[in-house]
Amino acid sequence: MTTEARTDAGAAAYRGFLFSDMRGFTAYAERHGNAAAAAAVSRFLELARKAIGRHDGSEVNTEGDAIHAVFPSASSAVLCGLEIVDAAAALNAQQPDRPIGLGVGVHAGEAVETAEGYIGRAVNIAARLCAAARPGEVLVSSTVKGITQSSIPVGFIPRGRRRLKGIADPILVYAVTRDPNAKGPRQVPRPVLLGGVAAALVGVIAVAALAGSQLLVKPVPTVAATVAPTIQPAAIGALAVGSYTSTRFQPRLTFEIKGSGWSANSDTAGSFGLIREEDPPGNVTFLRVRQVLTSPCLAGGGDDSSTGPSTPDVLAELAAIAAVPGSHIEMSEPQPVQVGGIAAKEVDITVSQASLAACGGLAGADVSVFDTGDEVWGAAPGERFRLISVTVGDQPVTIVISSDWTKTPSVQQLEQVYALAQVIIDSVVFPAP
């Protein structure tokens, strides 16, 4: 065992790892055809390879619409990632009718080089960051930020602490920008706001008391001051107890945080996510599902994904998949519930432990379930999650409650996550447009 450890330590080296792939590839192929999709992949790989070469990187492999590269430093990997998304943006400006959206993930660490590529936790984290990136976004870990922030002229916008599927520990995530002065959204802490209000009230009372003593007027009965609760934008990061609203997700929703441990980790047109980092850890995610993916192996697109409308009947399509013998999912009977005063349906979904057996790919990969247009939402093999389907006006919304399956939660822990998430869901309101 000692000899093996020495061999691994000697073979490992600290490098920067980059993954990039196309967002919404399935929808692109359906809209423009297979020939156009193949041409888009070719253009993407061409611009990615040029960027990799200019930054002293080496291509490790490609798989469909994805590319993996290794760099001698984290800085070169980050700069390459920015060049890739910039080149894609320039290409899209030339052909606005057929834009391609690229996501990039970068992490740095030790990995062992083998005949099949690099093996190590650093590689897996880079791949998961890529999967979480929005179109045109370069996501990096706090490790990469710490290494590069004083070396290259870039800025880092916090995206919160995320539990990446297949990764044991939460990862602090940042989006990279070419603006060195860029900062994430900041909120004045609620205690400071309340302290200011209290100070103002004290000042008013003091002035009134002084005026009363000087003018000798008859005291007026004191009326208790009340402060209406303020609904704050749910900025990415930790959320204190209070009322919040989504900013980009549609339909807009407001909700209340009544306990500690919750953070917002995404707010896009297709996804609004809350993550709980205290014990028991879990997630509440609001999705605008464009497609229910029929194959567990898809990682951003494929010819055998659902080709239904952009607003599918999620429960019906999941039920159809579950009805296939040997399916990778099982679904319970729908139960009536309410969300924001609107009738909804709730089901429990269980993903087969062997769902990815024939898929190959990296360790820690997800089972692809939903395509939101911004990203593919996936679950871990063996995972059980709760799903609520509600239609707000004419906009279907899918709510997913899940636990941290990197630690294989017990039934009791999962039920605790459901109960804590239900407190938030019970507070949800969908304001009128």
Residue-wise pLDDT tens digits, 131-141: 888 888 999 99
Write the DSSP assignment of 83-120 as a string of letters.
Answer: HHHHHHHHHHHH-TTS--EEEEEEEEEEEEEETTEEES
> Positive or negative, the Cα torsion across 345, 296, 46, 175?
positive
Distances from the Cα of 108 to the Cα of 10, 15, 126, 398, angstroms? 17, 6, 8, 35
Q: Are 22 and 102 in contact (CB under 8 A)?
A: yes
Q: Vertex 301, ends 363 and 288: CA angle to 5°?
A: 100
Reference 28, options 132, 103, 96, 98; nearest CA is 98
Q: Are 37 and 130 in contact (CB under 8 A)?
A: no
Report how many helices (DSSP H) and strands (DSSP E) the chain contains, helices first: 9, 23
For the chain, residues with pLDDT lower than 70 are 1-13, 163, 165-166, 168, 182-229, 298-311, 358-366, 374, 405-407
pLDDT recorded at residue 400: 95
Count the helix, strand and coil residues of the chain and give each as a percent rounded to the nearest 5: 30, 30, 35
Q: What b/e readout covers 122-146, taking b as 16+ CB neighbours within 10 angstroms?
A: bbbbbbbbbbbbbbbbbbbbebbbe
Write the DSSP assignment of 222-245 as a string of letters.
Answer: P-----PPPEEE--SEE--SEEEE
Distances from the Cα of 270 to the Cα of 45, 260, 406, angstroms? 26, 26, 25
Task: Find the DSSP H helices in 136-189.
Answer: 142-148
d(CA 398, CA 230): 27
pLDDT recorded at residue 359: 67
Q: What b/e readout covers 75-103, taking b as 16+ CB neighbours within 10 angstroms?
A: bbbbbbbbbbbebbeebbeeeeebbbbbb
Strand partners, 348: 386
Strand partners, 370: 292, 377
pLDDT recorded at residue 181: 78
pLDDT recorded at residue 298: 61
Look at strands 242-245 and 231-233 and give their pairing: parallel
The backbone region for 184, taken as left when phi is positive above 0, alpha when psi lies in -120 to 50, beta otherwise, is beta
> Positive or negative, the Cα torsion across 50, 52, 53, 55?
positive
